[in-house]
Amino acid sequence: MTEQHSHRFERGTDGPKVIVVGVDGSDSSLRAAAYAAGLARRQHALLAVVYVQPVLAAGAALGVPVAGTTDEIAEDLVVQIRESAERLKGIFEVRWEFHTFRGDPYNGLVTAADELKADAVVVGASEQAGHRIVGSVAVRLVKAGRWPVTVVP
């Protein structure tokens, strides 16, 4: 008698283990982080909070201290996340990590999702009018078709 292993269902392995959420300090990204935190808590998944530091060569050429500014944004985001986690301690427990990547938001989130082995990606809806023409980061992530993507308004 031969045993067939195809199409076997494994109990307890459904659902995401790593949820990546992109944050940039905007209201929609902070709502996305809150949504992703709830999802991570319910799924007992790791929440990977990702800030993509923009690389602005033109700004640097004009003498704008881009790296220092984006480092300050990253530090401020970590403070906000830690404060929120501390306020909810004992009521709302979630495992989380903070990561920064450099680049444009789309490529930074793709790199983050790949390196962190994301099972799902959560982002805020774009608040920029021009994205209706060019395509937002969220739309580009959905079109990549590599992870389930949730867009939070």
Please indicate, yes or no, whether the overall pTM of this predicted structure exceeds 0.75. no
Query: How far is the C-alpha of 95 from the C-alpha of 19, rounded, in Å?
Result: 11
Output the pLDDT for position 117.
94
122 Cβ contact partners less than 8 Å away, ≥ 6 residues apart: 19, 20, 21, 22, 32, 33, 35, 36, 39, 149, 150, 151, 152
Please give the average per-residue pLDDT across 74-94, as a whole number.
70
Tokens 């109990």 belong to residue: 11
pLDDT > 50? residue 10 = no
Mean pLDDT value across residues 42-63: 75
